[in-house]
Each structure stands twice: as C-alpha cells, then as structure tokens.
C-alpha cells in the first residue's frame, strides 16, 4: 500500500486505532515509543506525538512520562454531550419556538439551594420560571435562581424579551458548571404547565454554574413527557 508523500498525524491515529481495534495491540499493551513509531512511519516525532496526544484526549490510550503509552483498559465510555440552548433545540426539530416568562420575584435563596451550591445563607436571588414551547405546545419548563450578588445588573434585565439562558450567556462569564440528569414525577404545577398526567415521569436537567468559585445561577429544566436527550460519540 503506497503511503502518502507526507505522513499526517491523521494517518497515525488511524493506524494506531486500527491496530487496537483488530486486537494486534490488546488492551493494556505498551505501545512502541514515539521514537520507534516515527521511525516506522517515517515522520517527525512531533507528528507521532500529536496523534498520540489526541488519542489520549479521547481516552483510547493512556500516557505517562517515562513509562510510555498504553492501550486504555476499559475505555471509560466517554460521551461528549452538546446541550444547545432550548431555542435551538426546538428549531432543530423543525418547530416554531416561543417563550413566555411565567413569574419573576426576588427571594432569599432557599436553604436546600445554599447548601447544594455553596452560597451564603439567605443570599438574595432572583427567582424565575419560564415556559419554552414548540409549535405552541409546552416543551420545557425552566425554573431558575440567579444570585444577585454575582450579577447585580440582573435587576435591569427584561426577561420577557430574552430568555434567562441567553441573557446570562451574553452577560456573565463562568468558569465551572455541573449538570445532573434525573427522572422526576410531574407534581405541583408541572402537570398543567407541561400538559402531563399527574405523577408522570419527566426528564429533568439541573445545571449550576460558578464564577471564580462563587455560585452564579442554578436552573432546573424539566422537559415535556417522553423527551429523550441524545448524543453520539
């Protein structure tokens, strides 16, 4: 098989993954050193290095100085999940997106929340609920707390005109976030707002974001009955 005039790091990635998948290098195997590989492929060490670094980022191999590079044991099923803003999710389904603010109030952060995110007791927060709809049918209910200390100008934001998610993305940088997925029963005002049978299972995404270690906002996004969140990898 003729090899291209110049060997790309893509070629090396392909060759290595192929040997791993065909069990030429079973899991746990120590693979040749960068120097050996670049001799084999006839390219610079930087090229091999980049290929192996990217495979390491993907979790296909693990690398350690001096020890060398090994085929990862139990590839840790790593999925990259893109969570677009609801606006886009709905439009990608080919539906018309509409948004309505349901409630807005300044409150003291509830105790369960301060404990969960590491905020000060009774820190003032803006509490919002909003409904995102697809073709007029309820799609997602958003319940959000924004810590006013973290974003003082949130008081001036007009959340009837722009969704909290989009306002925050535009106004507030954040370093760190945590998400959690769970299944919850439709209770409280969920059945009527999301057009669900009482007690019906609903998919919920919770996200908390921090800036420099200080909590900024927490959101609960509860989807309409039957919603599935998907990802490929």
- By beta-carbon proximity to DNA, the closer residue of 63 and 207 is 63
Contact segment (CB under 8 A) with a copy of itself among 14-22, 37-45, 113-121, 148-156 equals: 14-22
Residue 203 sits in the site that holds a copy of itself (CB under 8 A): yes
**70 in Cβ contact with 19 (< 8 Å):** no
Picked from DNA, a copy of itself, none, the partner binding residue 176 (CB below 5 to 8 A depending on kind) is a copy of itself
Q: How far is the CB of 3 from a copy of itself (least distance, A)?
A: 23
Q: What angle do CA 193, 112, 227 make, to 5 degrees?
A: 35
Each residue 136-175 as x (binds a copy of itself by CB under 8 A) or -, in order, gives ------------------------------x--xx--x-x
Residue 52 sits in the site that holds DNA (CB under 7 A): yes
- Per-residue DSSP letter, 210: E
Tokens describing residue 166: 């989009």
Contact segment (CB under 8 A) with a copy of itself among 69-77, 92-100, 120-128, 138-146 equals: 69-77
Residues 6+ apart with CB under 8 A from 1: none
Residue 53 sits in the site that holds DNA (CB under 7 A): yes
Phi first, then psi: what are they for 152, rounded to 5°? -55, -35
In degrees to the nearest 10, what's the CA dihedral of 147, 100, 181, 175?
-40
């Amino acid at each position: 098989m003729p090899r291209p005039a110049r060997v790309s790091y893509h070629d090396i990635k392909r060759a290595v993954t192929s040997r791993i998948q065909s069990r030429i290098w079973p899991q746990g195997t120590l693979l040749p050193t960068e120097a050996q590989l670049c001799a084999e492929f006839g390219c610079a060490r930087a090229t091999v290095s980049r290929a192996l670094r990217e495979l390491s980022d993907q979790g296909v191999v693990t690398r350690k100085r001096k020890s060398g590079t090994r085929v990862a044991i139990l590839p840790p099923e790593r999925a990259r999940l893109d969570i677009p803003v609801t606006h886009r999710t709905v439009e990608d389904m080919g539906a018309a997106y509409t948004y309505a603010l349901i409630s807005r109030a300044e409150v003291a952060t509830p105790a369960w929340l301060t404990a969960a995110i590491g905020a000060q007791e009774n820190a003032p927060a803006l509490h919002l609920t909003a409904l995102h709809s697809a073709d007029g049918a309820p799609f997602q209910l958003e319940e959000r707390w924004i810590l006013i200390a973290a974003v003082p100008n949130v008081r001036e934001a007009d959340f009837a005109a722009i969704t909290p998610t989009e306002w925050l993305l535009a106004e507030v940088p954040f370093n760190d976030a945590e998400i959690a997925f769970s299944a919850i029963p439709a209770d409280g005002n969920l059945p009527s707002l999301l057009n669900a049978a009482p007690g019906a299972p609903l998919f919920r995404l919770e996200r908390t974001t921090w800036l420099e270690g200080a909590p900024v906002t927490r959101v609960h996004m509860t989807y309409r009955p039957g919603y599935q969140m998907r990802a490929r990898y």
